[in-house]
Amino acid sequence: MYEALEIRSFGEGKYSFLVGRQRYTLTTPLDEERFVRIVSAIQELVASFPPALTQEERLLLALMAFSHELDDIKCRLCCITENLKDSGAET
């Protein structure tokens, strides 16, 4: 299975990688370590979905899952910011 999840670099920010049932090729300004980390997270998430789902369903579920996670992080940051503001106002 490792071979199927391989992320191939063609240099100058161009990569080819598999997500679900589809291979994608794109060019990005992201550094390789960050790009591989992001694509690996997507591959892992999509691989966890039931195999009967279509590619479109897999991608939509992945988008929704990552959006939910991003929203959770945003809410936590807002709470931390508010707590810092409140504690700064008390001193």
In a domain, 14, yes or no: yes
Residue 46 vs residues 1, 62, 75, 85, 89: alpha-carbon distances, Å: 14, 6, 25, 39, 45
Could you give the CA distance from residue 88 to residue 66 in angstroms, rounded to a whole number? 33
**Percent over 90 (pLDDT), the chain:** 87
Could you give the CA distance from residue 10 to residue 35 in angstroms, rounded to a whole number? 13
**84 three-state secondary structure:** helix
Structure confidence at residue 90 as a pLDDT band (50, 70, 90): low
- Predicted model pTM: 0.80
Is residue 70 over pLDDT 90? yes
Could you give the CA distance from residue 86 to residue 90 in angstroms, rounded to a whole number? 6
Domain that holds residue 64: 8-90
Q: In what helix (H) or strand (E) does residue 50 lie, and over which residues does it extend? A: none
In a domain, 27, yes or no: yes
In a domain, 1, yes or no: no
If one counts the domains in the chain, the total is 1
